């Protein structure tokens, strides 16, 4: 069944939430703000109808290949994917790009979303629910930025943008332009990997333009999907916080190890220097003694001393070179650690920005929920104003009915009463309530009583305490309701207030088939023997009796 998805677009840059954000060309922003997008699906007969699971399987096959490390997977002529990732470039998003080839047969947005969801399930181990939620946002996002190369260049790495063209970037809105002309971009976070909730970066796919479009696409302003996406964001945040804590612990351990290594190197250098100084002092003393000996002995001793001194110098140079190598290695480790600390700082800033993004999402959803409730109340009020209150028979061959507010143009029931044994021919409208005789006796322990049903919602129901003659008419004189009721073995006229149905007075015994007439002398009923009883309207006391 076709669902026409009307997407009225606006746009908000991701400056607050995307650490890689760059400026987007102003004309691009303006054109996106004024864009009106409507997915147009094919609805008609098919020669082959594939199951939803088999369609989802197309995406799962592609995702499985990516999870196993493939950079490219699938059939170029039908469905394929490029895992466009470049760790050497730090600015911009990596992405998975889903290609809808010329031989692809997908012709409904729901099925395209199934393929995307299947891919996310297999590639990153998302649950079915999470994958379905992300697929909704991904398709709308790609439709909004269809063909906007300036936008993609400002957000994504060259490894991604080189695969996009003005006629292929993003998702076409017509089903007959998908095959061969749509490349769906799925932004990835730096942590993307199997089992990582934050693999798909949710900030760009939930920007203002996408959310505004989703509001127009769905009957409930997309509140359900938006809540589900916020839930994904929050779980991703918890995951990232744990990863940051682990990284901090690793860096602290490395800093401690480097400090110990540094101290060890410094101690070795200091020890080598002290030994050299001691040896130099000893050599100086030996040279002084040698100078006092005979020339022949002096010459021989001098040669030995020179050889020994040279050996000591070589050893000292070796120690110095080793120390320099160790110092260089330590400096390289410190430099890498500083880079890691800088990256960690950026991650913490991004984490803080994401928390703000989630808070803003929550506030926006709460606002829309209030407006949705307000609109729903207004719509319901409008429907009810146009509705007609009718007595609806549950069985056309039985006298039992319920109150039903019906739209006579469509036949739709706007509201129904729970009481469904009303005898409609007895009903009296008091303005705020309908009072009638309801119920039936039989083997189910039922009773026949007066019932008062509030007209504003059909929910506030009051029953009388006394049994009522099932075929009795109801009379309304002034603000009082009169009915034939049971008293012991007799039938009498009872007077009730409205709408509480409290019995205020009762008459002498009358015929249960009597009619109650209003005259100048009082209310007149007929007694069991056929005579007329003239009754006081308030107390129902007998004023006079006319024998027959």
For residue 9, pLDDT over 70 is answered with no
Domains of the chain: which residue ranges?
5-217, 242-385, 388-546
List pLDDT tens digits, range 262-279: 888 787 777 665 555 555
Which residues sit opposite 74 in a β-bridge? 80
The CATH architecture that domain 388-546 belongs to is 7 Propeller (2.130)
Q: Say what the pLDDT of residue 21 is.
A: 35
Q: How far apart are CA 252 and CA 250, in angstroms?
A: 5
Which residues sit opposite 318 in a β-bridge? none
DSSP 468-526: B-TT---EEETTEEEEEEEETTEEEEEEE-TTT--EEEE-S---TT---EEETTEEEEE
Q: Say what the pLDDT of residue 292 is.
A: 57
Q: Say what the pLDDT of residue 7 is.
A: 34
For residue 13, pLDDT over 50 is answered with no
Residue 263, CA atoms < 13 Å, CB-side half-sphere = 6
Q: Say what the pLDDT of residue 273 is.
A: 59
User: Do 85 and 141 touch, CB atoms closer than 8 A?
Assistant: no
pTM: 0.62
List pLDDT tens digits, range 488-504: 999 999 999 988 899 99
Structure tokens of 450? Answer: 């007066």
For 272, phi and psi rounded to 5 degrees? -65, -40
Summarize the confidence of residues 160-178 as an average pLDDT. Answer: 94
List pLDDT tens digits, range 530-542: 999 999 999 999 9
Q: Say what the pLDDT of residue 162 is.
A: 96
Q: How far apart are CA 95 and CA 87, in angstroms?
A: 12
Task: Provide the pairing of β-strand 449-454 with 433-438.
Answer: antiparallel
Alpha carbon 406 to its chain's center: 35
For residue 8, pLDDT over 50 is answered with no
- Return the H-helix or E-strand segment holding 450: strand 449-454
List pLDDT tens digits, range 375-406: 767 766 677 677 899 999 988 898 999 999 99
Residue 266, CA atoms < 13 Å, CB-side half-sphere = 7
Q: What is the DSSP letter of 410?
A: T
Q: How far apart are CA 493 and CA 496, in angstroms?
A: 10
**DSSP-derived 3-state class of residue 44:** coil
pLDDT confidence tier of residue 215, bands split at 50, 70 and 90: confident
User: Do 430 and 450 touch, CB atoms closer than 8 A?
Assistant: no
Residue 354, CA atoms < 13 Å, CB-side half-sphere = 26
Report the percentage of the chain scoring pLDDT > 90. Answer: 52
Q: Say what the pLDDT of residue 288 is.
A: 60
Crossing angle of helices 109-124 and 52-67, rounded to 10°: 40
Among the ranges given (27-31, 59-63, 135-139, 325-329), the one the predictor scored with the smallest mean pLDDT: 27-31
User: Do 452 and 480 touch, CB atoms closer than 8 A?
Assistant: no
Q: What is the DSSP letter of 293?
A: S
């Amino acid at each position: 069944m076709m669902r026409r998805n009307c997407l009225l677009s606006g746009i908000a840059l991701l400056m607050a939430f995307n650490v890689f954000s760059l400026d987007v060309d102003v004309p691009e922003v303006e054109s996106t703000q004024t864009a009106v997008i409507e997915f147009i699906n094919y609805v008609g007969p098919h020669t082959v109808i594939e199951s939803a699971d088999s369609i989802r399987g197309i995406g799962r096959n592609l995702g499985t290949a990516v999870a196993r490390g493939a950079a490219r997977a699938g059939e170029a002529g039908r469905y394929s994917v490029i895992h466009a990732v470049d760790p050497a470039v730090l600015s911009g998003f990596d992405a998975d790009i889903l290609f809808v080839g010329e031989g692809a047969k997908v012709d409904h947005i729901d099925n395209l979303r199934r393929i995307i969801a299947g891919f996310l399930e297999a590639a990153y181990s998302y649950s079915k629910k999470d994958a379905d939620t992300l697929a909704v946002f991904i398709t709308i996002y790609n439709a909004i930025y269809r063909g906007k190369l300036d936008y993609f260049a400002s957000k994504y790495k060259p490894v991604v943008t080189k695969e996009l063209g003005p006629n292929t970037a993003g998702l076409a809105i017509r089903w007959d332009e998908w095959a061969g002309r749509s490349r769906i971009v799925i932004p990835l976070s730096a942590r993307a990997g199997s089992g990582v909730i934050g693999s798909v970066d949710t900030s760009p796919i939930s920007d203002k333009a996408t959310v505004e479009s989703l509001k127009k696409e769905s009957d409930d302003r997309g509140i359900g999907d938006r809540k589900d996406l916020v839930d994904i964001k929050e779980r991703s945040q918890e995951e990232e916080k744990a990863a940051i804590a682990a990284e901090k612990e690793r860096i602290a351990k490395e800093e401690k190890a480097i400090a110990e290594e540094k101290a060890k190197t410094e101690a070795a250098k200091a020890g080598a220097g002290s030994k050299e100084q001691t040896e130099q002092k000893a050599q100086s003393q030996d040279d002084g003694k040698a100078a006092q000996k005979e020339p022949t002995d002096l010459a021989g001793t001098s040669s030995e001393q020179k050889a020994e001194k040279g050996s000591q110098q070589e050893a000292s140079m070796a120690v110095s070179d080793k120390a320099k190598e160790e110092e260089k290695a330590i400096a390289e480790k410190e430099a890498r650690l500083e880079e890691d600390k800088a990256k960690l700082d950026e991650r913490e800033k991004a984490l803080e920005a994401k928390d703000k993004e989630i808070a803003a999402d929550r506030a926006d959803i709460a606002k829309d929920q209030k407006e949705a409730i307000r609109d729903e109340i207004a719509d319901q009020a409008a429907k009810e104003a146009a509705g007609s209150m009718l007595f609806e028979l549950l069985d056309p061959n039985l006298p039992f009915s319920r109150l039903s507010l019906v739209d006579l143009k469509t036949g739709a029931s706007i509201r129904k009463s729970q009481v469904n044994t009303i005898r409609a021919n007895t009903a009296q409208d008091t303005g705020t309530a309908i009072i009638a005789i309801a119920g039936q006796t039989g083997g189910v322990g039922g009773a026949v009583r007066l019932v008062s049903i509030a007209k504003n919602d059909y929910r506030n129901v009051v029953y009388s305490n006394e049994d009522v003659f099932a075929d009795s008419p109801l009379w309304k004189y002034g603000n009082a309701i009169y009915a034939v009721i049971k008293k012991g073995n007799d039938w009498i006229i009872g007077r009730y207030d409205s709408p509480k149905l409290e019995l205020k007075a009762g008459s002498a015994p009358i015929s249960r088939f009597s009619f109650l007439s209003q005259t100048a002398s009082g209310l007149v009923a007929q007694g069991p023997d056929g005579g007329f009883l003239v009754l006081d309207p308030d107390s129902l006391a007998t004023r006079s009796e006319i024998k027959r």
